[in-house]
Amino acid sequence: LTETCCGGCGVSPGDATPGTVGGPLASCMYKLEDWEEGGYKKKDKDDPSINAMRGEVHIGGPSVTMGYFIPSTPPRNDMEAKNIEELKGKNSNDFYTDANGTRWFKTGDIGAVDNVQKRLAIVDRKKDLVKLRHGEYVALSKVEGVLQSDAAIDQVLCVGKSTKTTLCAVIVPSRDHMVASGASTEAEKEALCKDPKYAEAFGAIVKDVAKKRGLSQTETPSVIVLSPHPWTVENDLLTAAQKKKRPQILASVQDLVDAKYK
């Protein structure tokens, strides 16, 4: 992680245990904090069916940054001003210093430490979890990673609501797929993504890849929204680290999502 000067944990040489990230490096420490809403608690170690302490991973120590850099000069435009406000919010919410002076970073990752080997495993992502109507929690990043493995899908962002029983997938089709479907100009791509039959075709693609990769019915989006415009750093829909800016992406297609996913 950038916020912890790269490494936080490491696996010991010769330890080939799958699914774990090992223990903390010498420069830092970690702890788990309960996340009641998501159902992850430290006392889960006493539950025989779980047999592991669970919670959000906080990393602490001298390697944790003091926060995201905030320029001292006035913002040059509205986009820069917006980014600065986001960073200020992250500095307030994601970092803290305890009574002993130790600096901590809330990773947003959900970890589990088993009762036997005491290894840390990352089992979920707090910021990407949504709760659907029947109470099921779905990890959006997991679903997105599966769907994006298909060559027809260039980018994807999943949306979930507590009033819905299924997900909505906002998909940017791959350029090759759009060209193969007869759309090469921007106008043709716009028209193609508005075609209900094209959306139906992507619905079938989503179901097929989800089934092959073992997603449950709850994890498989049944509402498909198509957009011909890739998300980039230049249009402020990706961070400099190529991470999706979910609120901004959703805002850019909000009308389309609202029309299909009311």
- Average pLDDT rounded to a whole number, residues 74-102: 92
pLDDT, position 260? 94
In angstroms, rounded to a whole number, what is the distance separating the alpha carbons of residues 39 and 224? Answer: 29
Number of domains in the chain: 2
Question: Is the CA virtual torsion 30, 36, 39, 43 positive or negative?
Answer: positive
In angstroms, rounded to a whole number, what is the distance separating the alpha carbons of residues 34 and 171? Answer: 34
In angstroms, rounded to a whole number, what is the distance separating the alpha carbons of residues 86 and 119? Answer: 34
pLDDT, position 67? 93
In angstroms, rounded to a whole number, what is the distance separating the alpha carbons of residues 61 and 85? Answer: 26
pTM: 0.65
User: CA 190, 167, 36 angle in degrees (round to 5)?
Assistant: 140
Look up residue 126 and give its two tokens: 């707090």
Pair (136, 114) in one structural domain: no
pLDDT, position 196? 95
How many residues can be counted in the chain?
A: 262
Pair (100, 194) in one structural domain: no
Supply the DSSP symbol for 236. T
Give yes or no for a contact between 22 and 28, defined as CB atoms under 8 angstroms apart.
no
Pair (146, 207) in one structural domain: yes
Pair (143, 102) in one structural domain: no
pLDDT, position 134? 85
Range of the domain at 28: 2-126
Q: Does residue 115 surpass a pLDDT of 90? A: no
In angstroms, rounded to a whole number, what is the distance separating the alpha carbons of residues 65 and 97? Answer: 11
Pair (203, 104) in one structural domain: no
Pair (53, 95) in one structural domain: yes
Out of 63, 95, 126, pick the residue that ends a domain: 126
Three-state DSSP state, 218: coil
Out of 81, 102, 126, pick the residue that ends a domain: 126
pLDDT, position 168? 97
Pair (114, 147) in one structural domain: no
Pair (141, 253) in one structural domain: yes
Q: Could you give the C-alpha distances from 97 to 27, 61, 181, 225, in angstroms and in order?
A: 16, 10, 55, 43
Q: What is the CATH number of the domain that holds 27?
A: 2.30.38.10
Pair (87, 54) in one structural domain: yes
Give yes or no for a contact between 119 and 113, defined as CB atoms under 8 angstroms apart.
yes
Out of 126, 144, 160, pick the residue that ends a domain: 126
CB atoms within 10 A of CB 68: 17
Pair (103, 168) in one structural domain: no
In angstroms, rounded to a whole number, what is the distance separating the alpha carbons of residues 255 and 235? Answer: 18
pLDDT in tens, 148-174: 999 999 999 999 998 999 999 999 999
Pair (32, 63) in one structural domain: yes
pLDDT in tens, 190-228: 999 999 999 999 999 999 999 999 999 999 999 999 999
Pair (136, 249) in one structural domain: yes
Q: What is the CATH number of the domain that holds 191?
A: 3.30.300.30
Percent of the chain residues topping a pLDDT of 90:
63
Q: Does residue 127 surpass a pLDDT of 80? A: no
